[in-house]
Structure 1
Amino acid sequence: MAEMIRGLKLVLLGRTGIGKSASGNTILGRQAFKSSKSSASVTRDVAVESGTVCGRWVSVYDTPGLFHTELSDGEIQQIYESVLQRCESGLCVFLLVIKADRFTGKERRAVEKIEELLGDQRLKNTWILFTGGDELEDENMTIEEYINLSEPLKRVVQKYDQRYHVFNNKMKGPSEQARLLLVEIMQRLKGTSAFSLPSRRIVLLGKTGVGKSAAGNTILGQREFLSKMRMSSVTSECSVAHTTVSGRSVSVVDTPGLFDTLMRLEEIMTEIARSVYLSSPGPHAFLIVFPVNMRFTEHERQVPQQIEMMFGQDVLKYSLILFTHGDLLEEESVKDLIEGNWRHLVQQCGGRYHVFNNKDLNNREQVNDLLLKIDTMIEQNGGGHYSNQMFEDAQRFRQEEEEQRQKEEEERKQQVEKEMQERIEKVRKETEERIRAEMEACRFRSRLDRYEENRKREEKDGCVCS
């Protein structure tokens, strides 16, 4: 198990009015969720807020409370099922929130209902989070003493193998109790395969010579891909390599350069398309690589269009701009760099970008930060990855577009030929009419000439007779 858990999801569950939203605020150290003392549920839908807690990226899911809510049991069950689906991938822990006052029949029914919704397998990933720690302090009572007051509560805690924690939600700002909760979770997770960190499949895209192969080596922490500074592409076909980064399996696919002058466009597109299948069932992230010192030209502007043409419009939802040669930034920050010509390109990828110094293979923090951003992107996409089906849909759409273009081109050619034939026919008719008119005029002049000759002959003969 890695020392640092990244992309941890915490799902708050429980009945109305026991402090779920306030607990989410305590975990994140800020007023992320609306919280009030009320018997009616403040949360009507799932609210998700994220942040860094003690060096770990944490996403907190606040759910509507069971009972005393305007939502029906059926609506609540649908909401819970949608949350459970979103937590299928990645590291997810469920926090069953119980207020440390009286463990009544209502509390027991809420616990039973949540256990029914979660199922046996997810209960292994569930902790009890007691709220009302401030009231226990006022009564000079420990949480263990409170648990021992109720035999039903003791049985519940035993069922969860003593996985419990207590919060005083009146404490504002970042607190030690949130750190202790994460440490407790981490300690419990060590040594169990049920909580392995999610694997990540990454595809590198970009022009020739931008440092794709070097970036792949940086992610892997070793020189797996051939990397040289040259204008012609070192990589002529896709290649894949695997490693373990911070406790998770990571695969990286290196691809030929876009606009490579040594390969035909059809060859480049066909080869890059293989990257989806090499990362089957589909990549979690496409890293579009640019050096920080590259001049922004029309070619750079066309890169996202080329990628969209190959992989479809959805591809940029799974894309992140990776700037290489971070060691050359010197006094200029990457934000200053992006505010220039690169801003629109970064915005096309949802504002996501990262910077690598490929000369420092031992700097694993830059790789962990990249994986953290990929985790966040996946979370924003509702989980999952770019799939083979998306690629096949994009290819089919592209083929249909090409067929439509060819059809329109054929229709245009036929229209041109038709117009040409019509013009030829018109010229032919006009020519024939002109020739007929000229011939008619010629015959008329011939008859006129004969008439004139006859007239002159008759006049001459008349003169001779007299």
Structure 2
Amino acid sequence: MNKTLSNIRIVILGSRQLGGIEGSGKSSAGNIILGRNAFDVGRRTAQCVQAAGDVQGRHLTVVDTPSWHYNSPLEKTSELDKLEIEYRVCLCLPGPHVILLTVPVDTIFNKSYQTSVEEHLSLLGKKVWNHTIVLFTRGDWLGDTRIDERIEKEGKHLQWLIKKCGNRYHVFNCKQHTDNTQVLEMLAKIEEMVMENNGCHYVPETDNNPSTELELKMKTAKRKMMKVKRQRDILQELLKERNYTLSDVRIVLLGGGRVGKSTSGNIILQGHIFEKTPEEDFIIHTRTIQCVMKQGQIEGCQVSVVDTPGWSTSTLENENEILHSLTVCSPGPHAFLLVLPVHESFTKRSRQTVKDLMSLFGDNVWKHTIILFTYGHWLRDRPVEEYIACEEEALQDLIERKCGNRYHVLNNDWTNRLQVQSLLKMIEQMVARNRGEYFTLENKASKPTTTEDQMFNETLEEEWKKHEDELIERMLEAATVDLNKESEQLYHKRRGSIECSIPNMSGDSLLDGTSSYGADTLDPTDKVCQWLRPRHAASSGHGTMSTTSSFQDPNRECLKDDIPIHKHNPNDMDSLKYFNNTTEQKHTRSFSF
């Protein structure tokens, strides 16, 4: 005789198609069990949701978990989704009585589906199968067919799953929300299974505490958000004197196959231009095999987007065609958008493939590169920084060290033009930092120099650019070294506060020798902007810079002490001394920017 449980703890697991409107029916099943709309139906569950209620004299606790891509192995599932699943199963203390594995009865359960299910349940340990019941959803699709007939007809892969779960399965007709019979029958099966397990609930088999790990990752994500926000605000302030208003922008999309490159181009250009893809999805039905450029007038700017062939994660294909993208958008792109999907983990193999791809363009390509995360709807309202923080260092190094924390997220909401505006603004700021230069393999947008004066001016200009970049990097680094201490404070109180973000540089006067502003009235950001601003000599004409006014200022030496250096490098000062000596020897010369 079965014992009636007064409290039953239920965790629902399942997958979904990447772009499908309907998932595996997890949320709908949870609503049917509780007899009310406790879970959001129609959108992917990106974060575990717990709800409770009393049903037929039993207190039920139901946990809806994030879904994974039904056709993908565990390796490709993001670390954020893995941790979330482990975390919530462990959090359902002292442990769930049952794991309901939802499988849509109208979906073909093939080999890849079987592999995906087996690997994802392995997150919870080998004993999880003793506490798992297969819950077939969309039972109305069966019509007059019995579920056992369906299982037999489907074949060995589905039969393997049923056997793995000890022949425990149940069917829900999600359209019959008021039918309590199907719920009562399922509860009886749960109680029977618990009795077979000697009345024990499931105890997670984990070496590490996923709760602690996820909490640490979320704190890291919070600090990341604060750091990036502060650095972007500071960078915008530092570059405000570089007024590069682009009348046209040339963009090259790079990435693997089926990562959303073509659809990203469609969203940017506001139309089904590259591929005939549904608005709700990022799935690319036709593989791009050659470079294609499309154009459109977007936000008052002529935007050219080049879609390139996708590369696989095992071999880099179509190298010549990918390089051909530079010719297609001649004279060269302003931005490379390296497309990465947020529903997949960025593995070491992915990093190597990205490295091989980008090496085709040389090291200078990173100055012109932005990471574009696609499938943003997979995250729902979760910030992308949580995804980044949970991934391995491979992705974090790529974003921070290679791309200078330039990244953006696109979701499948084509009506959301703000995401495109923000992307174009980020490209514009990157172009400003690159002094308006577009990318070429030779990294030279100007004509070759021939005379001695031109050669000297070019060398001097490169030295100036080098030290400008060094100063900016140090400013950004020094302004965020204390974020670990500040992360517990409310960030909105510091929103827009540039003064407290930049290290104190009081004590030096304006570098052009004027005295119209005092040290007390000019904030540190403006001081740096004054130094970055090109100085124009009255006798040299527009667009030229006099080395006399720039480098013979009596307070020039003070600047070296004001440059924020987090880690002292003696070579920095040696380089600066060389730069000063060179300019003093040729102080009567001027050069153009």
- TM-score, normalised on structure 1? 0.41
User: Which structure's residues are more often helix, by fraction?
Assistant: 1
- TM-score, normalised on structure 2? 0.32
Decide which structure has the larger Cα Rg and report it.
Answer: 1
